[in-house]
Each structure stands twice: as structure tokens, then as C-alpha cells.
Amino acid sequence: MSIDILLLLGAALFCIGLAVVVTRKNAIAVLIGIELMLNAANLNLVAFSRFDGDQLQGQIFALFVITVAAAEAAVALAIVVKVYQHFNTADLDQINELKG
């Protein structure tokens, strides 16, 4: 299996994640997009690791990313819950208090 196809898959996944982040209105959906982008990155890391010979740096790093992503998801979801309690909505278009 060549690396190109794996990288293309990662790029495709990243783009889909980005598209989700940018286009969806719901904050939860945006978080899902972010997860997708993280996993695209993980895919890249693992892919490069496969062609790296005897070292496992990429895979280890991917594990760290997954850990951090879990933590991030926990914090982000907590924020979303608080935001929902405060604004009674999770629609990002309506949560724009910080506009100039």
C-alpha cells in the first residue's frame, strides 16, 4: 500500500472535518468536526510511522493526540453545556457577544 493513498485519505478527512467546523451551526457538530480533523492528523502520523522503519514515534504521538483529544472533548463539552445553560441555545451564529 502506497503512502499516497493514506495521505489523500487523511487530507480528505481533514477537509471534511474543516467543512463541518466551518459550516455547521450547532456547537456539538463543530466539536465533531474538530474530532474529525484531529483524527485526520492522527491518520497522517500513523501513516508516516508505518514507513519509518524501526521507530514508533508517530504511533506514540497519535496516542498522545487521542488522549489530549479526549481531554479537549471533555472540556469543550462542559463549555458547551454551560453555554447552553447561559444562552439557551447552542447555535454559534447567535452566540456572538464578543463582536466588535
Interacting residue ranges for other proteins, rule: CB under 8 A: 18, 21-23, 30, 92-93, 95-100
Closer to other proteins by CB, 65 or 80: give it.
80
- Considering just the CA atoms, what is the radius of gyration of the chain in Å? 17
What does the block give as the cell for 100? 466588535
Residue 43: which residues within 8 A CB-CB, separation 6 or more? 6, 9, 10, 13
Question: Which residue, 15 or 74, is less far from other proteins as judged by CB?
Answer: 15
- Taking the complex as a whole, how short is the minimal distance between the CB of residue 67 and other proteins, in angstroms? 23
- Smallest gap from Cβ 10 to other proteins, in A, equals 16
